[in-house]
Amino acid sequence: MKSINERLDEILPKITNTSFRENKGLGNEVGYHIFDYEPEYEMLVRNHIEFLKERVKSDTTNQRINEFDLYEMVLEILDEKGYLQKNFVMEQKKDSEYVLNATRKSLRLTLNNDLIIKYIADRVQQNDIIFITGVGKVFPIIRSHVILNNLFKAVKQIPVVMFFPGRYDGQELRLFGEIKDDNYYRAFQLVDY
């Protein structure tokens, strides 16, 4: 079994490989990849993502890593819509479940006008590699399989890597290694163990 550092070191050669960009070998499916890791390595993974973004930016391949932190996106969208402060007030008056449901509705998750998907689609360019982060921070507002199931409509053939604090076995996502997110079959493990 590889260490977390060995697995992180395999990301750069993998994402800069031409076949990764062109989604070769995936049966012309959208190139979705998951880098799963033990939650205790969260800060190490975050630091490595910053390294990868700088390294790819300075490369001559004309690629760019476009990181989307789901938690930060939710805060920004709610703030732009004027809902963020209302959520704080609502949480004092109602229970957390009520606020979670209200937040999900205001984000229009899984609808045709899903604000998270729109946010990503509006900010992505053809030569990007999309990194989805913040999966653990945004739980339980957003479930990772919901993003993966709906993102393909908006980004077409742009490769996506979701950094997942938990386990992905090629079929099932387990957030933090314990919470069953849902079955998801379209993604490939970015780096094996």
Positive or negative, the CA dihedral 146, 170, 190, 4 is: positive
Instruction: Output 107-112 pairs: Cβ under 8 A, ≥24 positions apart.
Output: 107/74, 107/77, 107/78, 107/141, 107/142, 109/142, 109/146, 110/146, 110/150
Cα gap 138→126, rounded to integer Å: 27
pLDDT tens for residues 31-71?
A: 889 999 999 999 999 999 999 999 998 776 678 999 999 99
What is the pLDDT at residue 25?
46
Q: 88-141, pLDDT tens digit by residue?
A: 887 788 888 888 888 888 899 888 889 999 999 999 998 899 999 999 999 888
pLDDT at 30: 60
Q: 31 is written with which tokens?
A: 């190139």
Tell me the three state secondary structure of residue 113.
coil
pLDDT at 131: 97
Cα 168 to the center of its chain, rounded Å = 13
Cis peptide bond prior to 13, omega within 30° of 0: no
